[in-house]
Amino acid sequence: MYVERASRLAGAVVWSRGASGSTVGAVLPDGCMDLLWNEGRLLVAGPDTHAYAAESTTGRWAGVRFYPGTGPTFLGVPAHELRDLRVGLADLWPASEVRRLTARVAAAVDPVTALEQVALDRAAAVEPPDPLLREVVTALDAGRSIAATADRLGLSARQLHRRSLTAFGYGPKTLARVLRLQRALALARSGLPFAETATRSGFADQAHLAREMRALAGAPLGELLARS
pLDDT at residue 57, as a whole number: 58
One domain, residues 84 and 146: no
Beta strands in the chain, from DSSP E residues, in sequence order? 2-6, 13-17, 34-38, 42-45, 61-65, 86-88
Do 151 and 54 share a domain, yes or no? no
Taking only Cα atoms into account, the Rg of the chain, rounded to an integer number of angstroms, comes to 18
Split into its structural domains, the chain has a count of 2
The reply to whether 52 and 117 lie within a common domain is: yes
| Residue finishing a domain among 125, 160, 186 | 125
Q: What is residue 217's DSSP assignment?
A: I
Backbone angles phi, psi at 35, to 5 degrees: -95, 125
The 3-state DSSP composition of the chain as helix, strand, coil percent (nearest 5) reads 50, 15, 35
Residue at which a domain ends, from 125, 160, 192? 125
48, 148: one domain? no
Which pTM value belongs to this model?
0.93
Determine the number of helices (DSSP H) and then strands (DSSP E) in the chain: 10, 6
SS3 label, residue 132: helix
Q: Which domain holds residue 98?
A: 2-125
Residue type, 51: A
Same domain assignment for residues 169 and 200: yes
* Residue 177: how many other CB atoms lie within 10 Å: 18
Specify whether 30 is located in the same domain as 50: yes
Most distant pair of Cα atoms in the chain: their distance = 53
List the one residue out of 78, 75, 80 whose CA is nearest residue 36: 75
Distance CA 137, CA 107 (A): 37
pLDDT per residue rounded down to tens, the chain (228 residues)? 889 999 999 999 999 988 765 445 689 999 999 999 998 899 999 999 999 987 655 688 999 999 999 999 999 999 999 999 999 999 999 999 999 999 999 999 999 999 999 999 999 999 999 999 999 999 999 999 999 999 999 999 999 999 999 999 999 999 999 999 999 999 999 999 999 999 999 999 999 999 999 999 999 999 999 987
If asked whether residues 14 and 69 sit together in one domain, one would say: yes
Mean pLDDT of the chain: 94
Domain final residue, candidates 92, 125, 158: 125
What would the pLDDT profile of 12-57 be if each residue is shown by its tens digit? 999 998 876 544 568 999 999 999 999 889 999 999 999 998 765 5
Is the same domain home to 28 and 102? yes
Q: Bin 43: left if φ > 0, else alpha if -120 < ψ < 50, else beta.
A: beta
